[in-house]
A and B are shown apart, each in its own frame.
Chain A
Amino acid sequence: EAQVTQNPRYLITVTGKKLTVTCSQNMNHEYMSWYRQDPGLGLRQIYYSMNVEVTDKGDVPEGYKVSRKEKRNFPLILESPSPNQTSLYFCASRSPNTEAFFGQGTRLTVV
């Protein structure tokens, strides 16, 4: 089954404690991206990757890092999380001629 898998689904952490949210897709898609969703602000792109070792900033990249060492994986790294990064996060993947597939989301709370 074609899918994008994120882990964890829920996470509560403290300010400053580094964390990683993993994302994996099984469709051999070139393009992967991370979005965050906040009330009243909708879905906003954080970072994206056109292919292995190619990443770039989206609309709201501050406070986040990503890496793309393998085609199937695109982890989101928060080196020093802050409360304003409390949000619902989605990973997505796509190929040039397909629709986008989204993961089920990671609800992050930073206290």
Chain B
Amino acid sequence: DAKTTQPTSMDCAEGRAANLPCNHSTISGNEYVYWYRQIHSQGPQYIIHGLKNNETNEMASLIITEDRKSSTLILPHATLRDTAVYYCIVSVLGGTSYGKLTFGQGTILTVHP
């Protein structure tokens, strides 16, 4: 079973920030929050990950609450090409179980003109 809960769908206007929430209330201390997206039927693409601090890269920002039970992915200036399914996943780094990613249904983000 997926360890995360996300809204089924969201809309965003082009050029505006897209804020995608994720609940992971049962996250363990050694689990990271990862975000991937899948554009149409392509392979999932890594966006960003974090443990407890907020993170930013060239694609997005990740805000993790202090209790780590939820997070928000922020696409600062959404474009039409950001229309995709966004998956929030919790996963460990290292150890014996780092490889498997358990995907939920994700959030379908539609960016409209």
Interface of A toward B, CB cutoff 8 Å: 4, 31, 33, 35, 37, 42-45, 48, 50, 58, 88, 90, 92, 94, 96-97, 99-105, 107
Number of interface residues of B (CB under 8 A): 21
With known contacts A105-B41, A107-B41, A100–B93 Cβ distance under 8 A: no
Name which of B9-17, B65-73, B75-83, B99-107 contacts chain A: B99-107
Residue pair B103, A96 in contact (C-beta under 8 Å):
no
Residue pair A33, B106 in contact (C-beta under 8 Å):
no
Chain A binding site: helix, strand, loop or mixed by DSSP?
Answer: strand
Residue pair B46, A58 in contact (C-beta under 8 Å):
no
Q: What are 24 residue pairs bridging A and B, where the CB atoms are less than 8 Å apart in the complex?
A: A31-B98, A33-B99, A33-B100, A37-B41, A43-B44, A43-B103, A45-B101, A48-B99, A48-B100, A50-B99, A88-B41, A92-B43, A92-B44, A92-B101, A94-B98, A99-B49, A100-B36, A100-B44, A102-B43, A103-B43, A104-B42, A104-B43, A105-B41, A105-B42
Alpha-carbon distance A45/B99, docked complex (angstroms): 11
* B101 contacts across to A, CB distance below 8 A: 43, 45, 92, 100
- Output the nearest chain B residue to A32 by Cβ-Cβ distance: B99
Residue pair A31, B44 in contact (C-beta under 8 Å):
no
Alpha-carbon distance A42/B41, docked complex (angstroms): 12
Q: CB < 8 Å: which of B43, B49, B98 contacts A96? A: B98
